[in-house]
Amino acid sequence: MDLDFTPVWTGWRELAHGTLVTVEVTVGAVVLGCLIGLLIGLGRLDRRRRVVYSLCTTYVSFIRGTPLLVQLFIWFFGLPHFGINLPAFLCGVLGMGIYSGAYVSEIVRGAIQSVDRGQMEAARSLGMSYALAMRQIVVPQAVVRMIPPLGNEFIALIKNSSLVSLLTITDVMHEGQKIISVSYRSLEVYLAIALVYFVLTNLTGLALRVAERRLGAGGLVQ
């Protein structure tokens, strides 16, 4: 079988636009996921606050125990039953961000717990409050340890973003399917889409490796 990439060259503008939308959705989800993950991760560190701990644990268990696609459908198709109609793009960002937040929270919690307890005890003995010690002593050390698992999470999020095409969001997958519908060259188009995701994930991995090296060189890693 001969490959014909003519539809890909012809529709490169549509694919480029779809790639930009994919990046926008993913960046929005990453920002939201990191904010939620930080709050939930901190909430799961102290079991003495039973209500907060229970709520955070329930959130993590539910989100990690259900498929992302189902959660996206709940946002897009479920909320209108309650009179809440959100734009497809916002549903995609919210769905992916909340989904990612559950995984980021475990990364945050694990990284903070991996820091030697003596660091906190030493800071408290010097008169620092718990919040100040966390902000200036513990979290800076934990951040560097978070980068590798966060990189894996961000890369997974980029690949999972292909699901938002089912919400009518014009991401690269959606634009590719439109090209296939008129050209019937599915293999060539999907190969082009795969290349787009390959480039995005590898650029993300490279950026995170550079960030990890710079943070390490800055003295945050002992």
Instruction: Examine residue 128 and state whether it is found in any structural domain, yes or no.
Output: yes
Question: Residue 163's domain spans which residues?
Answer: 6-220
Predicted model pTM: 0.87
pLDDT of residue 220: 46
Instruction: Examine residue 78 and state whether it is found in any structural domain, yes or no.
Output: yes
Instruction: Examine residue 175 and state whether it is found in any structural domain, yes or no.
Output: yes
Instruction: Classify residue 4 by its DSSP letter.
Output: -
**What residues contact 36, with CB distance under 8 A and at least 6 apart?**
97, 98, 100, 101, 102, 104, 105
pLDDT of residue 134: 80
What CATH number does residue 140 fall under? 1.10.3720.10
Instruction: Examine residue 30 and state whether it is found in any structural domain, yes or no.
Output: yes
pLDDT of residue 193: 96
Instruction: Examine residue 1 and state whether it is found in any structural domain, yes or no.
Output: no
- Residue 120, helix vs strand vs coil: helix
Residue whose C-alpha is closest to residue 152's, from 192, 110, 189, 117: 110
How far apart are alpha carbons 169 and 89 in whole angstroms? 6
At residue 175, φ and ψ (nearest 5 deg) are -65, -40
Instruction: Examine residue 149 and state whether it is found in any structural domain, yes or no.
Output: yes
Instruction: Examine residue 14 and state whether it is found in any structural domain, yes or no.
Output: yes
pLDDT of residue 217: 52
Provide the residue-wise pLDDT of the chain in tens; the chain has 222 residues.
678 888 899 999 999 999 999 999 999 999 999 999 999 998 898 778 889 999 999 999 999 999 999 999 999 999 999 999 999 999 999 999 999 999 999 999 998 888 887 877 788 788 887 778 887 888 888 888 888 899 899 999 999 999 999 999 999 999 999 999 998 889 999 999 999 999 999 999 999 888 878 876 554 444
Total tally of structural domains belonging to the chain: 1
- If 0-12 CB within 10 Å is exposed, 13-18 middle and 19+ buried, where does residue 85 land? exposed
pLDDT of residue 45: 85
